[in-house]
Structure 1
Amino acid sequence: MAKPNTRQFDRIIETAGRKLQGVRNREMWALPAGDQAKVAGYVGVAFAKATRLKSSPMAERGIDRIWANAEAALTAEIAAAEKAKAGVLAEHAAAKVAKRAESKWW
């Protein structure tokens, strides 16, 4: 019986892991395009307020919220891919056991 093909899940886990590391390092490339635009908008608001010597807690909270949501989404994506991979491996193992139980060579 051939080994189960889990390359697709491995690739998803690896890609999401790299993106998660990028999000944790606050690198913009790791965010989806829509979130990159939102962060740029918040940075623009914060910059405009800073030039007028005012604070912008709303913009800072917005940016923090975007990073936190991105981290949560990537963590969930990794967990789901690992669960799916484990399911494929368990299914393969169950089929292997059933095949062995079916043949009565001993």
Structure 2
Amino acid sequence: MWEEKLKYFDKLVDQCDRFERKGKKMIYTSANGYMFALLNKAGEIGFRLPKPVATKFMEEHNTGPYYSYGAKMKDYVLVPESLYDNEKLLVDFLNQSYDFVMSLPKK
């Protein structure tokens, strides 16, 4: 099951030409010194978004904050599996997540 989620995460990332997936055990994307998308050991995907976008995402898609290794990840939302059929939407949010970390001061 986790392997299927990894393939799906990679499929989303492969549709974005400005970044690539990193990690072997901890799967993530990063830019500008910040991680912005994660696949946790439970096979859940999280995107880092600006607060107003994250709030709207959670309300519209009936989801909540994202947790990885038991910790609530700041500015991250849990991507519900109900959206997995809408790759175009998720790729758009993944790109928004990249744009968000690129707008932050470089680490």
Same structural fold, with TM-score higher than 0.5 when normalized by the shorter chain: no
Bigger Rg, structure 1 or 2: 1
Which structure: greater helix fraction? 1
Higher relative contact order (CA closer than 8 Å, sequence separation 6+): 1
Which structure: greater strand fraction? 2
